[in-house]
A and B are shown apart, each in its own frame.
Chain A
Amino acid sequence: MFTSSGKAVWGRVFSSYFVAIMVVWLAVLITLCLGPALKATVTFFFCAVMISSWYGGLCPGLLTSFLSWLALDYYFIPPLYSLGIGPAELPDMLAFSATALFISWLNSDQRKVKSSLQQSRDVLDARVRERTADLKRANLQLQSEIAERRAAEEGLLQAQNELARIARITTMGELAASIAHELNQPLGSIVVNGDACLRWLEGVPPDLEEARQAVEAIIRDGTRAGDVLVRTRKLVRPDDGMRERLDINSVVQEVITWTNDKLQRSGVRLRIELQEDPPPVTVDRVQLQQVILNLVMNAIEAMLEVSQHSRVLWIRTERQVLGKLLVQIADSGAGIDPKHSSRIFEPFYTTKTNGIGMGLTISRSIIEAHGGRLWVVEAERGSTFCFTLPIDRERRRG
């Protein structure tokens, strides 16, 4: 009980004993005032014991009992105004003492129970508050972690896109640099030889043999430069070695699987109409994937400018009469500006801020290498890219 500071405890003890004495005086005064009107003289003294023990606990209660006992003996039990009890009053006084002691004990016990109850309620309250605060903190932390993770995922996706773009550009850049170097070597020799040739011819007399040798070297280097270009073409357009017979729909499905995430993120709805049981085509799977992926990505990017609810990507495969398979990829974007439309298949021509302008050029060269055609049709809304592939002959006969 003595948990608070010393001052407060002593104040409490002092006031308890002060009350214990005061209530006895009050009881004496009231009982004297009321005098014979009061039937039982002890009533107010019981009240005093009750108040004192309720307010101050067991010891003040006992003090009040003792003082009440003295006061009763002094003021109310004959001989009046003196201490001393006759045998006639002894039972009454003993009864009073017993009752007063009992009241003191009862009250003080009650007090203890109540205060311990209050204490445990306080403790409980504090714990509940603490626990609530903990939960709130945990909740906040969880929310911020979720937001962080979401941001990280977003960042990762962006980084992946950026990486893919850089990889594309780096490859192109390296290829271009290596072609430039390969060509500059013979070109450098050609120019130096040409200059030397001129000097031999300008000499007096001109040295025709030296000049002839220089021209021969020029021809040799010119041929060498041509070889570089032939090799480069082969590099960019590989031969038919990788081709296989396959179902065009499966290639379309693969590309859709890869782009699903991007489609959802961009809020694009997808409509697919695939030819049932399409005839097989003999193609390079990776190259064909590259073409379709390129067209789908272009379509998605073309729709970023229009409002989200009208973004629809439409992919169709269809068997045509002349032994060809048609693939259409249509978007509902803003369409192609007429001033660009004639040039979009040119190399290094791009309308995108982050494009390198090779996507459509490479796509067209791949499709043409497969014996097909790639073109664009302007629709009422957006544009439609179409390409054809020849169907395998064996199947057509069968």
Chain B
Amino acid sequence: MDSEKPIVFAIDDDASMREALSRLFRSIGIRASIFSSAEEFLEFKRPDVPAALVLDVRLPGLSGLELQRELNGSGIPIIYITGHGDIPMSVQAMKAGAVEFLTKPFRDQVLLDAIAVAIKRDRENRKEQSEIAECRARYGLLTQREREVLQHVVEGLLNKQIAARLGTSEFTVKIHRKGVMQKMKAGSVPELVRMAQKCGCHL
């Protein structure tokens, strides 16, 4: 997955700024896709790779901040650029989870650093998400009984206690427990607990 080439999206209503950004990204060899409005960006089918979004705050139609609210589910990291250096807006943007807020004119290195941070963040995010997805998939393989055993293991109960709770023998519990460890591909009990917490299976 790490081998996937990341992509940078940029949205700016100013044509010459779009052109300049595209030239800059090309000069460094960054894969980029540039749009003139938020709506155009939303219609675009994004490839499933780590990404960063360079976003002009003031856009015709859907504004930058509104787009950020719209995108919050997908978790793509955002770098704002603006011609107005207004503080309230930058505070709002940073609170909503923006990586950086740049005021035009800005130097390329500042933008590239922010993009690097954003892509790193997105990569981690995506890794986390895929781990959770995998964990959930493995959890899906467990039988009802195994899930009950898993929940009690996570709560920190001993085999004997689990057997008493479930009204079965300690031996049966041991067998279920082994099945859980195999299906969840957990090497140890602490790892199993971590996995359970990550995908929220124990709840």
**Residues of chain A whose beta carbon lies under 8 Å from any beta carbon of chain B:** 177, 180-182, 184-193, 195-196, 199-200, 203, 210, 213-214, 217, 220-221, 224
Contacts and interface: CB of A to CB of B under 8 A. Distances in A.
A184 B16 CA distance: 12
Given A180-B84, A191-B106, A221 B23 contact: no
Nearest to B28: A199
A199 B29 CA distance: 11
Contacts of B109: 195
A200 B19 CA distance: 15
Nearest to A188: B104
Contacts of B14: 185, 188-189
A195 B83 contact: no
Given A191-B104, A199-B24, 11 more contacts: A180-B84, A185-B83, A185-B104, A187-B105, A188-B17, A192-B23, A196-B24, A196-B26, A196-B27, A203-B27, A210-B23
A192 B105 CA distance: 8
A192 B108 contact: yes
Contacts of B111: 192
Contacts of A220: 16
B103 interface: yes
Given A185-B17, A186-B16, A200 B84 contact: no
Interface string B102-117: 0111111101000000
Interface residues of B, number: 23
B24 A192 contact: yes
B18 to A, nearest CB: 9
A270 to B, nearest CB: 45
Contacts of A189: 14, 16-17, 19-20
Contacts of A192: 17, 20-21, 23-24, 105-106, 108, 111
B51 interface: no
B81 interface: yes
Contact of A188 (B23, B26, B58, B81): B81
A364 B23 CA distance: 46
Contacts of A185: 14, 16-17, 83, 104
Contacts of B27: 196, 199-200, 203, 210
A65 B16 CA distance: 131
A182 B84 CA distance: 9
Interface in B2-34: 14, 16-17, 19-21, 23-24, 26-28
A184 B104 CA distance: 6
A12 B86 CA distance: 93
A229 to B, nearest CB: 15
A216 B108 CA distance: 18
Contact of B107 (A195, A200, A213): A195
A203 B27 CA distance: 9
A203 B28 CA distance: 9
A189 B26 CA distance: 15
B105 A188 contact: yes
B159 to A, nearest CB: 64
What 7 pairs across the A-B complex have the smallest Cβ distances?
A188-B104, A195-B108, A184-B83, A191-B105, A192-B20, A199-B27, A196-B24
Given A180-B84, A224-B16, A187 B104 contact: yes
B185 to A, nearest CB: 46
Contacts of A186: 16
Given A189-B14, A195-B108, A210-B27, A184 B21 contact: no
11 contacts: A177-B84, A184-B105, A189-B17, A191-B105, A192-B17, A193-B23, A196-B20, A196-B23, A210-B26, A214-B20, A217-B23
